Amino acid sequence: MREVKSACVVMGWLRLVACENQSMSTRRRPPAGLGESGRAFWRSVVAVYELSPAEALSLARACKTVDLLDEVDAAVADYGIVASGSRGQPVPNRLLMVRCELERSLDMLLRALALPMPDETAGHRRSPSATAAAQARWRGHRHGAMA
């Protein structure tokens, strides 16, 4: 994965695309079937990074997961977080477990993509604690520059 640079000519698994001051990935459309949130996430990533075909596939799966999370959230909003059990007792809505699994899947997909943090030139696979530390460094750097 590389950050977007100026001019490019791309041949290969897509079609020939000649770009001037714009990368191929900024012209790549989101995969068919994505919802609004998935398309927005796709565009936000390809606007900054040039992805390999394997990375684009991982991103597409992450975008679909984002859309599924939206659907689960809408269903939970409709039905609530509590449902009736087999004997009428209150039980947690099973969609909450589905949501947890989708969030876990999204986290794994995004870590596998290894997108660089704002202060990095190359991405790294990192643990959640390392991600939090990098974000804290970036916030400190950004807020220090604003002062």
pTM of the predicted model as reported, rounded to 2 decimal places: 0.65
pLDDT at 119: 64
125-143 pLDDT, tens digit per residue, is: 556 676 677 678 777 766 6
DSSP 94: T
Q: How many percent of the chain have pLDDT more than 90?
A: 51
What whole-number distance in Å separates Cα of residue 124 and Cα of residue 76?
A: 35
pLDDT at 118: 65
DSSP 69: H
Question: Is pLDDT larger for residue 24 or for residue 143?
Answer: 143
Q: Does 55 have pLDDT greater than 80?
A: yes
Q: In the structure encoding, which two tokens stand for residue 23, read together?
A: 């990368």
